[in-house]
Amino acid sequence: MSVNTLTADPAGSGQPRWRGALTVAFAVLASALVLWLASGQVVAALAYAFGVGCLAVALSFAVRPREAAETSDFAPPDWSVTHAAIERGEEATAIIDRAGRLACANARFAECFGIGAAPPRLGLEGAQNEALENAARAAWRDGKAALEPVIANDREWRLEIERAGRGQDFLIWRFAPLVRRDPLQDVISHVRGKVGQALGREGIQIAAVAPDGQIHAANALFVARATGETEADVAGTDFVGYFSADEQERIFYAREGTRGASVRMLHVPIADPEAVALGSAAADPAQTASLFLLIDNQGGVGDTRTGIPQIEALLARLPLGLAMTDRDGRFLFANKAFLRAAGYDESGPPPYPSDLVIREDKGALADAVRRFAQGSGGAGDVAVRLRSAPEDPVSLSLAGVRGLGEGAVILSLKDSSEETRLKREIAQATKMQAVGQLAGGVAHDFNNVLTAIIGYCDLMLMRHTPGDSDYDDIQQIRANSNRAASLTRQLLAFSRQQTLRPEVLQLPDVVAEISTLLKRLLGEKILLEVTHDRGLGLVRADPVQLEQVLLNLAVNARDAMTGNGASGGIPATKAGGVLRLKTKKVTAGDVRAMKSEILPIGDYTALIVEDTGHGIPPAQIGKIFEPFFTTKEKGKGTGLGLSTVYGIVKQSGGFIFAESEVGKGTRFSIYFPVHVPDAADVAEAAAAATAAKLPAVRKQWSGGGRVLLVEDEDTVRAVAERALVRQGYEVTTASDGEDGLEALGRAISAGEEFDLVLSDVVMPSMDGPAMAREIRMLRPELPVLFMSGYAEEQLRREIDIPNMYFLAKPFSVAQICTAVEDVLKRR
């Protein structure tokens, strides 16, 4: 690397200084001669020459010293000196220039990261590389930056970046190993170090003790009192063995006996803060190390208040939330961890511990503090609800202490906010899963009933013509059965078990097809605005289900803008508003900038539905996707609309987010991953084109075929049998999988063959998939058509049988006949 510096001769000519002076003098005389010849004034020419000469001499004396000084201030850099200066043990250091080139690096950097690439291009994982680049930009902009942790070479580092150099054209990168501190080791170092010495000077003995009673460390005063030798090593010895007690339960050092001063003990558990936050067994006081502080009852330290400030300072450094009260239950002090865990924002504690809890728990907590303050000592827990989080009970630990003057009770409280949040999320997820399984099971059983009702209606309609007295009644029964079937589809959508027919499509096409229906649905007082981005990516979804999503969201928006959905104390808005439908292109960079923990980084096509209604309160926004929860007035809404929307979006591989502000409106953002067509999509399109020709092919099967029908529901089996027999098929029925196998065995023994197996999925004894696998061992090419109310995609993943087809329940007579014909024509 080269560095520009000033030389001794600013002109860079290398000539002696007298030559420069001669040149100046010659120029002055020449100009004076020209002036004399031009003006004819000799005196004026001489005066001019004299003035210019004096000015030149003055300038030369004024400029040259400064140039000499500038020349002496800077010297070319010696990078070997810089390299020696940045050799700092475990710290990896590198210097880069403005162009991003590696100017210098120490041996530790070369060992850990190599010198093939300069930071931030260190070949780390994607998120780490991005973080390094952001830190570099911040350092160039602000002069310094820091990042923690940086994970490289199976180690964690703390990175500090600083801009430096005369022109601020260099960045210094310092990677320091990140060491996780052990609270027990910190306490041991304090006991053996200055803290232990300071406590000893005040007459306080201190020892760190393991759960089994073995001493980890102790200060010099404890060692001298316990052993009589200041240099003795007590590590690994039994703590209790150094003490004895008399009949009054006073505690003495065993070496001194009752002739010595009795001592008062303060017991403080030492727990890992991460274990405390997680509530693990490692934070149990009975299983963690302890800190014992001992104060003499008489002598120079008889006034126990002497050591209280030091005790408070020590407790303030511990990661546990600790506080102390007097015998009247007043706070003497509380460390920051205790106040943070209690949700108390003030710098100091309130007068009483009961001021931290709700009114219903004040009496119980006050009684507990008084009991531990006046008793003979001990420890226990009390469940309370803090004013900062009244819905979540927490465990407050209390321990009575003696020998600390005014101090009577120590209170311990851990910060369990994160643990509570995780428990709430797990409980919510478990509840949603249980409700989803219940909804799916109910919908499955209900689909069997609806299949029978719709099937018998179809059979009855075949015997009646329009105008008959019973024809309209049968049509009404069938119409209401279809309405019930749509309700079961909502339940299945919520539990993500409905059957989807995904297609590769553009979202604007779906919006355009339903816009006319939405305008009629919204009415004249609500304006519908539709905008689309350019260059939107393809998505793979069921267009019918997407229309259902838009309809549900539009109905909710209409109710919110017309006042029909106001509840929870929210006033109804004016009878009108604007519903905006937007499609938006979202790139991977946009997702990365969002910093969402839920949305994976990738390309998406977003569908945004935004209204100007009354909005949703913050307390309810987290519950809107739960089944049977509604913000509408009592008697309005089923509470299944948004849960259905959520189920459809999630089963389609998308993500949905809700944002709302009371009085301004609600915004739903749905993200579908961009679909890249492949060979499977081309084959699917070809199959769809072939399916368009099916009606002409089906005629050859109208004469019949042999079908093995296996269904455990008697009514469904009867409807399906009658429907197929009317179409000319020869049907053999069975009530479960075992009966189906027996029927197939009898047919094979008689030299007969079935053309198709039509079977339910869920059956007692032997279900449909198990029966199908047994059948395939006998007749590998025999097609199987499954009937079920569950999702086809889910069944295909679980069953995984080749040459398998699917018919969704509930179905009509025409649908089952069409499905059977479609399967048979493929043989």
Closest to 548 measured CA to CA, from 648, 624, 672: 648
Closest to 541 measured CA to CA, from 793, 810, 738: 793
* Low pLDDT (below 50) residues in the chain: 1-18, 63-72, 274-283, 299-306, 496, 567-573, 635, 691-703
pLDDT in tens, 438-479: 666 666 677 777 787 888 888 888 777 777 777 778 878 877
How far apart, in whole angstroms, are the C-alpha atoms of residue 607 and residue 669? Answer: 6
Q: How many C-beta atoms surround the C-beta of residue 125 within 10 A?
A: 10
Q: What is the DSSP letter of 236?
A: T
pTM reported for the whole predicted model: 0.38
How far apart, in whole angstroms, are the C-alpha atoms of residue 185 and residue 810? Answer: 68
CA angle 670/672/676 to nearest 5° reads: 165
Closest to 801 measured CA to CA, from 775, 763, 825: 775
How far apart, in whole angstroms, are the C-alpha atoms of residue 351 and residue 325? Answer: 10
63 and 135 Cβ atoms separated by less than 8 Å: no
The Cβ-side half-sphere exposure at 781, using a 13 Å CA radius, reads 5
Q: Exposed/middle/buried for 157, CB within 10 Å: 0-12, 13-18, 19+? A: buried
pLDDT of residue 278: 43
Q: How far is CA 656 from CA 260, 624, 651, in A?
A: 74, 12, 12
pLDDT of residue 603: 92
Residues 6+ apart with CB under 8 A from 260: 252, 253
760 and 712 Cβ atoms separated by less than 8 Å: yes
How far apart, in whole angstroms, are the C-alpha atoms of residue 277 and residue 136? Answer: 34
pLDDT in tens, 574-616: 567 899 999 999 999 999 988 888 888 999 999 999 998 888 8
DSSP letter for each residue of 245-267: E-TT--EEETTTGGGS--EEEEE
205 and 222 Cβ atoms separated by less than 8 Å: yes
CA 824 to chain centre: 50
